Chain A
Amino acid sequence: MGRLRGIKLKSRHLLIIFIAVCIVLMGLSLLSSKTRGPLRYIAGYTVVPMQKGFNKLGGWASDFTQNFQTIKELRTENKKLQQQIDDLTVENGELALNQKELTRLEELFKLDQNYGDYPKVGARVIASNTSNWFNSFTIDKGKKDGIRVNMNVIAGSGLVGIVTEVGPNWSTVRSIIDDTSYVSGMMLTSGEKCMVQGNLKLAASGKMKFEDLPVTENEEGEEVKIEEGEQVVTSYISNKFLQGILIGYVSEIKTDESGLTRYGYLTPAADFSDLQDVLVITQTKAETMKSNNGKD
């Protein structure tokens, strides 16, 4: 090492050269997202298959350790589940009542375009962000499967994130609990808009923050109350997220010092601690808007 075509390179020079390389790379990637193209292709065919393999291995290992769960644990879990069944039966009754109201409200907010109608493709999570600071993950579908940047990703009933990068056979998804994530949300019943943001501090406790919710008054001059458990969905003004996808449930709400806006916390509907399979909605907001405009 150190001999480059017969010239002895000092470590200080090597340092300067590589720092320059990094700065140039940063500059280029700021200017154009295409910089990563070639490297991305190489990664797609070398590292990603290995990630898939490792992931299978890890899944097998975790199954193996789970088999050693003691009977005691299973019993307590069984008890808990029984309790849950009881709770759910009660809840189910309530929900049946709410269903009627919901149908009406959906019409009211033109949420008839439920996300059951959006074309979706299933994907498997194969790796998660390597750092403890950010919350993103890699899925095993890419350009070949029709995935493109800005597609929304859901799991179960709730919004998970958005595709930020696409490789030939993989894509990166930034989850909504990531510290850099902002989603324009809306209270389902009142239609008031707010900003839902991920927060590293809150992510540990499985919560998210929402801000800029206006304090609105009804005709009698009373403040419109938002109840805990209120559903927050993606709003129609978002230019990246499709309208009406469930983000989570309000768990706490406060009025800020100015008295003009409210903020609070919500529990995301998707379970981020155990993400394995997700659904990618293969229609972006931009396309939806375009096709809607075409109709008019």
Chain B
Amino acid sequence: MKRLHVIVNIILIVVAFLLQSMLFDNFSFASVRPNLLLIITVMSGFMNGKKEGILVGFGCGLIWDLFYNDLLGFYALIFLIIGYINGRFHRLFFDQDVRLPLILVGLSDLSYGMIVCVTQFFLRGHFSFWTYLTKVMLPEVLYTVIIMLLVYPIMTTLNSRIRDFEQRSSGKFV
């Protein structure tokens, strides 16, 4: 990753975290928030490959862990694996096609929900799976996918701009 790329990714992660942890409900819908950090992770993996998926996923998970989780590294692990798996679809990345990334974000969010559900709720003996599915997981997936529709063009444009810039600046030295 080039320096500019690193800086942009860090800014993206922090902004996503700030928006997601914002107190006011203008942003949440039916008391569910979209999973912006997951969107960033999935997009990074999908647009730039497995390695970036891992690194960005790790960053996203870590900032989350730092503030709201006792077990440091838990969400980092989930997110980096999600980033890696989405990176495997990098070959199929094509700017104009939004369907695949939407499906990827949806599936990633659903599997993230399942993991949290099993590890943090089932293991403590709370088994209201149906409620968790209909009240938390599915609304979150739906909302995240809708936000993804808005974010996707911005992210791809930003990504290609950075790539162009990096290519131009590296071209100067050759």
Contact = CB atoms under 8 A, between A and B. Distances in A.
- Whether A and B are associated in the same complex: the answer reads yes
A269 interface: no
A236 interface: no
A170 to B, nearest CB: 9
Q: What's the dominant secondary structure at chain A's contact region?
A: helix
B67 A172 contact: yes
Contacts of B54: 11, 14-15, 18
Contact of A204 (B1, B116, B135): B135
Interface stretch (B76-84, B97-105, B145-153, B157-165): B76-84
A23 interface: yes
6 contacts: A11-B84, A22-B61, A131-B64, A164-B70, A200-B121, A204-B135
Interface in B4-25: 5, 14, 17-25
A11 B131 contact: no
A12 to B, nearest CB: 8
Given A11-B84, A18-B58, A23-B77, A29 B23 contact: no
Interface in B53-102: 54-55, 58, 61-64, 66-68, 70-74, 76-77, 80-81, 84, 87
A289 to B, nearest CB: 25
Interface string A128-149: 1111111011100000000000
Interface stretch (A50-58, A112-120, A155-163, A186-194): A50-58
B72 A125 contact: no
A164 B70 CA distance: 9
Contacts, number: 160
B32 interface: yes
B116 A47 contact: no
A276 B124 CA distance: 30
Nearest to A60: B24
A201 B134 CA distance: 10
A19 interface: yes
A215 interface: no
Interface size class on chain A is 35 or more
A250 to B, nearest CB: 22
B31 interface: yes
A67 interface: no
Interface in A38-87: 39-40, 43, 46-47, 50-51, 54-55, 58-59, 61-62, 65
B84 to A, nearest CB: 5
Contact of A126 (B23, B35, B124, B126): B23
Contact of B24 (A50, A62, A134): A62
Interface in B121-139: 121, 124, 126, 128, 131-132, 135-136, 139
B51 A11 contact: yes
Nearest to B16: A130
A25 B135 contact: no
A138 B21 contact: yes
Interface in A160-190: 164, 172, 179-180
Contacts of A138: 21, 67
A237 interface: no
Nearest to A129: B68
A55 to B, nearest CB: 6
B42 interface: no
Contacts of B23: 55, 58-59, 125-128, 137, 276
Given A14-B51, A43-B66, A200-B132, A130 B126 contact: no
Given A18-B54, A130-B17, A130-B37, A26 B73 contact: yes
Contact of A47 (B1, B14, B50, B140): B14
A24 B22 CA distance: 30
Given A11-B87, A47-B17, A58 B71 contact: no
Contacts of A103: none
